[in-house]
Chain A
Amino acid sequence: MPHLWLRVAVLFYGCALLYALGALLGRKTVARGVILPIVGTAGVFHLVSVLETVLAADHFGVAVTYQYQSILALLLMIVFFIVLWRYRTTSHGIFVFPVVFLLTMTAAMEHGAPELFSPLLRSSWTYSHIVLIFLGYAGLFFAFASSLLYLVQERSLKSKSVGGWIGLLPPLAVMDDIGLRSLILGFPFMTLGLIAGSVLAQESYGAVYFRDPKIVLSLLMWLVYMFLLFMRWMSGWRGRRAAVLSSVAFLSATLAWAANYVSAVHRFVER
């Protein structure tokens, strides 16, 4: 049963999500004492499932290509726990838990061993490409989540209606710090990941790959990412402007991800 632990993890993630949704809809506060043990347990099962896949595949890279959604989700959870440890806030969970749940669920529902479409996927360049890009994605995702939370908190302060669950969000300065740090940490990973990808593509396809939608979108995402980082760094963009920009960056990242399904050169699993 290769997916057993992953399915257990999905079950726990699902419970956490249901509880959080129920609490928020019922206008109650999400109790840390309830949610953290659940996602913690889920995280442990999740980690076990990834380790098991890696060991079973006998090669880290194969596991990466096999269960890429599960590994991205695990990275998001790890960042979530780092943020919790460093800043004592669970607010990002509002965005992290649903995404992690969806990613792990799709991973858990896949059957059988992967059929690798391209021999390329066995090269270690590919594995580093994927993991680096994932780290970049995680950084961008947390920057995006932080800027949305910042926006919500800023609106409530501006409209002078502090209180309710918004009142429980961490201070603006903390959100700003988390957002900026995840951008800064994510950027080098993203850049190196894209470089690794380009080297790969150059070797196997030559110059044609520049017209591929996946590549165009990835490049666009990287440019927006860099612009966002630059503006935050240089003129301290916060609030609405930062939120809009990081939404654009995140949207282009999602499109670049989705482009796997239309791209001619970037299909790693036969569908």
Chain B
Amino acid sequence: MRYLLLGINHKTAPVSVRERLAIPESRLPEAMRRLCEQPGVEEGLVLSTCNRVEVLAAVESDSADLRTFLQDYFAIAPEEFASHLYEFREHEVVRHLFRVASSLDSMVVGEPQILGQVKEAYASGRSIGAVGGHLDALLTRSFAVAKRVRTETRIGSSSVSIASVAVELAKKIFGSLEGKSVFLVGAGKMSELAARHLMAQGAGSIFVSNRTYERAEKLAQRFSARVIRFDDLHEKAGEADIVITSTGAPHAIFRKEHGKQFLQRRKNSPMFFIDIAVPRDVAPEMNELDGIFVYDIDDLQSVVTSHVADRQREARCAEEIVEAEVIRFTERIRTREVVPTIISLQEQLETIRQAEIDKVRGRLGELTPEQEMAIEALSKGIVNKVLHAPISTLKSVAKAKARETTTVIELVRRMFNLDRPKEDADKEQEKTTEVER
């Protein structure tokens, strides 16, 4: 049993290629079914998000060809995607999958969506039977690793976009945003996004204002907000807890003296100015007032940058966790690989032993209990001594030298004549799974 993975992601392929290989969610089960029909493929999983398409399979031998699958499924010439493709085998697959699930391979490192997407693919793969024991072990382990990364590092804890940083800062000032009022001065994509984020976090009433009244009304419709006339701006701004400005005014509209008035009227209750306009709408001196916090676009950007750096530092810790988990997991599956052979070896010798005892018993006639015990002990002792060397060799090879494992298994099976007719092997397989459980 081998793991094989073929894929493209945002690092290796431009969107023009990714979009051609993307599979909509509704067609995923069918794609997985087709994947499992490929010769040599035992189990398969297809993951398709906007940043990656990955085909994962547990294969019988190296002969299984996932490229042909891609080629056939998408009806696309190999040269069109071959250069963007990456291919992983064995422990590389384990590492890659652990990294993907932990969001270390994402465009925005630490973003939480990818784990959910992998889980969805896993669930649909399981429901149609494309994911069985081998992929199940790998995938459930990858979820555990992702969880470990999330709890042991702070990879996903900081905001890395302007709008989410604005929300984070507002929460640092106001605690809960429940019932806080937002004043949106001027229209703009980024300021509206910030307002939406704030409202999603519970900010209550929202006012809008714009130099041209009609545009303010349009804006108000989008937010179901109240319109404030631009002339009443300074009258009303003091009532808002959070003011987002993005007008095209050539000079600052809010100056320090306005801030003083606001504070007096609102009994020094804090205010947060988010100034996205260039040139700035809020005079920087405003920040000197106790209780008023002014962040301009550069301030927000620098917070984002420092958070990105934080994430990269945390990502390094996460990589270490992943590396340790890869070693643990591959060791586990390697030892698992030799378990069936060990069991059939034990069974084989046990059958021989029983047969020989039966033979000798016919000749010896009635035996005393002591004699019975002596024969049992003697025969068991010999069998165990004979078994010791091959079993420990199998185990140690499985742990340390992955490449030789198949050869050694093959050798042991042939030497002890373990490969019997198919029904026997099937029974044995059942026992193996029981033992593993």
Contact = CB atoms under 8 A, between A and B. Distances in A.
B295 interface: yes
A162 B303 contact: yes
Interface string A154-189: 100110101100010011111001000000000000
A206 interface: no
B175 A173 contact: yes
Given A157-B169, A158-B293, A160-B295, A236 B303 contact: no
B283 to A, nearest CB: 15
A173 B302 CA distance: 24
A236 B265 CA distance: 11
- Size category of the A interface is 20 to 34
A240 B268 CA distance: 12
Interface in B130-184: 169, 171-176
Contacts of A239: 290-291
Given A235-B268, A236-B268, A238-B270, A162 B287 contact: no
A172 B270 contact: yes
Q: Which of B174, B175, B306, B307 is packed against the most chain A CB atoms within 10 Å?
A: B175
A175 to B, nearest CB: 9
Contacts of B269: 236
Interface string A239-262: 111000000000000000000000
A27 to B, nearest CB: 12
Contacts of B295: 160
A153 interface: yes
B291 A173 contact: no
A171 B268 contact: no
Interface in B215-272: 266-270
Q: Which of A160, A162, A170, A177 is packed against the most chain B CB atoms within 10 Å?
A: A160
Contacts of A235: 267-268
Contacts of B266: 236
Nearest to A231: B268
Contacts, number: 52
A243 to B, nearest CB: 10
A241 to B, nearest CB: 7
Given A235-B268, A236-B269, A238-B270, A158 B173 contact: no
Interface string B69-112: 00000000000000000000000000000000000000000000
B404 interface: no
Contacts of A238: 268, 270, 290-291
Given A238-B290, A239-B290, A240-B290, A162 B267 contact: no
Contacts of A158: 287, 293
Nearest to A237: B268
Given A235-B267, A236-B269, A171 B290 contact: no
B268 A172 contact: no
Contacts of A174: 175
A171 B303 contact: no
Contact of A170 (B175, B306, B310): B175
Nearest to B287: A158
Contacts of A171: 171-175
A173 B306 CA distance: 25
Contact of A153 (B172, B268, B302): B172
A177 B269 CA distance: 12
Contacts of A240: 290
B377 to A, nearest CB: 53
B268 A162 contact: no
B356 interface: no
A167 B173 CA distance: 11
A241 B290 contact: yes
A120 B174 CA distance: 50
A172 B172 contact: yes
A236 B176 CA distance: 19
Contact of B267 (A157, A160, A236, A241): A236
Interface of B: 169, 171-176, 266-270, 287, 290-291, 293, 295, 299, 302-303, 306-307, 310
17 contacts: A153-B172, A157-B169, A157-B293, A160-B295, A160-B299, A162-B172, A162-B303, A163-B310, A171-B172, A171-B173, A171-B174, A171-B175, A172-B174, A235-B267, A236-B269, A238-B290, A239-B290
Given A160-B295, A172-B173, A173-B174, 10 more contacts: A154-B290, A163-B307, A171-B171, A171-B172, A172-B172, A172-B270, A173-B175, A173-B270, A236-B268, A241-B290
